[in-house]
Chains A and B, each alone.
Chain A
Amino acid sequence: MIKRGDVKGCLAGRILRIDLSNKKIWTEETKSYAKKTLGGRGINSLIMINEIEPKVKWYDPENLLCFGAGSLVGTITPGACRVDISTINVFSGGKGSANVGGFWGPELKYAGYDNLIIVGKSKNPIYLYINDDKVEIRDASFIWGKNTFETEDILRQEIGDDDIKIALIGPAGENKVRGSAIIIDTAKAAGGSGVGCVMGDKKLKAIVVRGHKKIEVAEPEKFMKVVEKCYQKCKDEPNTRMMRKAPFNLYSNPEWEGWNTNIVIKNGQDDQWGREKRIRLMNPVTGIPSMQKGVRACYSCPIGCMPFMEINKGKYKGDKGEGFWINTIMGHACRFDISDPEAVVESWLLTNRLGLDGDYVAAGLSWIFELYEKGIITKEDTNGLELDWGNSEVLIKMIKKLAYREGIGDLLADGMVEAAKKIGRKSEYYLIQVKGQPSIEPFRIPKGWALAVSTSPVAGRHLRGATMGSNRYGPKPRPGNFGVTDYRNQAKGVVWQGKTKELEDNLGICNYVGTWSGANFLTITDFVELINAGMGLHLTEEELMDHYAVIGRNLEKAFNALHTDMSREDDIPPKRFREEGVKSGPYKGFKIDENKYNEMLDEFYELWGWDKKTGMQTRTCLEKLGLKDIAEKLAKQDKLDDN
């Protein structure tokens, strides 16, 4: 039994609840939820599993849209600015979750709320205005249909306060395009799981927040001593210099190994891109790096990794915005074989303006490009567009069609799995998806990536445990001893990374400042010290890693089991990557070996305490975590291994 004490600091103290169907607003204390988890996503997951009946679908009014700022958000903890957005996943039907940084989360805390839970649906477009204790549901007909940039401008003028922070959707979310994002500060996208689609379905255009309150910590002087140590570490770490140039610049070196291990070309036809294309795209003088005008940081971040971009030539000259990321290179360039730098930046800006998840766009549309190449669809299906690899203008037209559901965009907007059923003709083989969500991730070469993406409870994304080898970056090796392409020992690293990400999303610490990059930034030791001094708890590292880092993942897995028919089969990489090898480059011939992958998966389940054969959660594991009630729910549906 963990004797951790009661929370005495860091939390704002209340959860804001809003029922859009009945126009009701109320609050409750965070305390009772914070007894079981540490905050942020943990609280969202707990509320979802307790309150959403298994029969509820994402489009039902009973579905919840949950925003959770982590428990350390609003303090000066390095990188503590993150918000988890959880709801039913529009792709898998199970748990959906997306995570975003910026300034909105801290503002929610300063307004006095740790989490914001929205239920019901509005009949007409509305937005929420939260100014401390003043919470209003307001008409949004004047901003419905506007893109995210326009909406920000109009709301700032309407409200007349430059310090408001806004989370909003674009036309894609309004049109219930499945891969819609919730955009924060016009730049940062909570992209996965279709969270923007759910927000649009609730007719909720924006959530405006302004807070004037304070966040207290349990032991201020002691807390600041820990914080000071953490800032100094981040300042001294040599990798900080690389991060501050914005990490996408690593790709401006055509020899950088990321080009060999983590890139997928033409929707998965190869994992190797031509050297001359790399150079054209990432040339420091004429390519994407030349458009970087500066770098920005999220709230209380000592590292700073977010580039501000402005297109400097060509037909898109003058378009600009914040937050260009590595995924755009992997997704919008390589997946379409596009090496035109201006078009790649423009396509990314467009996804932010229209409120689309860039990964969904990249994985879904590159699939359509391949179907066109294979002759499975023709010009008649594409409204006359020639979806040829490398054709950037067509990509930009297709992004608009998707967001506005025009022509073929309407077919794709309901999700690629649905579209594949309608198209037929073996089109589903070429669709790279995991648990229903299109995925841009590499599988064939980095095996830790393949395992983490395939087993992610929120379907096909890498942040729940992907690794690049135990000693890949930085001075602190991961548990186990393995290289990027090894199957052996890989599960140890993936589970460890999944656990630390759970903690980071509970605390609201960016995983770049945490354990992701492997650089010597914040460690588990720092997390414990921050929690104990800030929240006034008495936890050990073991309690943190064996209990609090595990409970959230189990809540999500149980939610998936109760709401879907997911099984071991759904934790296996897409068929294409098991059948077709890499065609060129140093990893030519690499593909997923099913036997070796399954051995890795066995070990993964065992390490989490789940049944090795079926992947089902066990009674022992859940009861140890104090989740007896969840075990009973699962047992009733025959979804529990009774050991």
Chain B
Amino acid sequence: MKIVRNGNLCYACKTCQLACSFHYTKTFWPERSSITVSRNPQDGTIKWHMDATCDKCMGEEGLLCVKYCTYGALQILNNNANEQEVKEYD
């Protein structure tokens, strides 16, 4: 299972980063998140990164980052997804 982001749908609200931190800490702590989001309001660019610490929300009902992304930018691809499919998202 892979979590991928469609850059065209992302509004850079950072809710995924916050939801992820809740999974680990039961608090809201962006520093303790597997996801980092940053954006540049001057040129409009958005950077999104998920690091290797992601445990796919072990013990939760569903993936919190995907659940709280109301924009539908985060998607789950299965392990067999090829590189082309992943690229289509980001």
Contacts and interface: CB of A to CB of B under 8 A. Distances in A.
A321 B41 contact: yes
Given A298-B13, A301-B13, A320 B38 contact: no
A300 B18 contact: yes
A323 B32 CA distance: 29
Contacts of A240: 70
B29 A295 contact: no
B22 A224 contact: yes
Interface in A71-89: 74-76
A215 B13 contact: no
Nearest to B38: A162
23 contacts: A76-B15, A76-B18, A149-B42, A187-B41, A213-B29, A214-B21, A214-B32, A215-B28, A216-B27, A224-B22, A231-B70, A235-B70, A294-B44, A295-B11, A296-B41, A300-B18, A301-B11, A301-B13, A302-B13, A302-B15, A308-B41, A322-B41, A322-B44
Question: Closest 3 CB pairs between A and B?
Answer: A214-B29, A297-B13, A297-B11
A217 interface: yes
B45 to A, nearest CB: 10
Contacts of B67: 228
A560 B67 CA distance: 46
Given A213-B31, A298-B13, 13 more contacts: A110-B31, A152-B42, A212-B31, A214-B31, A216-B28, A240-B70, A297-B12, A297-B71, A302-B70, A303-B70, A308-B41, A308-B44, A320-B43
A284 to B, nearest CB: 19
A300 B69 CA distance: 10
A319 B70 CA distance: 30
Given A295-B11, A299-B14, A304-B13, A74 B41 contact: no
A342 interface: no
A75 B27 CA distance: 8
Interface of B: 11-15, 18-19, 21-22, 25-32, 38-39, 41-44, 67-68, 70-71
A308 B13 CA distance: 14
Interface in A298-338: 298-304, 308, 310, 320-323
Nearest to B15: A300
B26 A76 contact: no
A320 B71 contact: no
Contacts of A386: none
A23 to B, nearest CB: 30
A240 B19 CA distance: 21
A637 to B, nearest CB: 44
Contact of A185 (B19, B30, B41): B41
B27 A214 contact: yes
B56 to A, nearest CB: 18
Contacts of B43: 320
Interface string A219-235: 01000100010010011
A88 to B, nearest CB: 30
Interface string A172-215: 00000000000001110000000000000000000000001111
Contacts of B12: 296-297
Nearest to A299: B14
A75 B41 contact: no
Contact of B26 (A185, A213, A220, A244): A220
Contact of A76 (B19, B31, B32, B71): B19
Nearest to A73: B28
Nearest to A74: B28
A178 to B, nearest CB: 26
Contacts of A76: 15, 18-19, 22, 28, 68
A234 B22 contact: no
Interface in A131-171: 149, 152-153, 162-163
A163 B18 CA distance: 15
Contacts of A426: none
A293 interface: yes
Nearest to B26: A220
Contacts of A110: 29-31
Contact of A214 (B11, B25, B41, B70): B25
Contacts of B28: 74-76, 214-217
A297 B73 CA distance: 13
B26 to A, nearest CB: 4
Contacts of B11: 244, 295-297, 301, 304
A299 B11 CA distance: 10
Contacts of B14: 103, 299-300
Contacts of B38: 162-163
B41 A293 contact: no
A113 B83 CA distance: 44
A138 B28 CA distance: 30
A521 to B, nearest CB: 11
A303 B71 CA distance: 8
Nearest to A322: B41
Contacts of A295: 11
A293 B15 contact: no
B11 to A, nearest CB: 4
Contacts of B25: 214
Contacts of A216: 27-28
A302 B69 CA distance: 7
A300 B44 contact: no
B77 to A, nearest CB: 22
Interface string A258-299: 000000000000000000000000000000000001111111
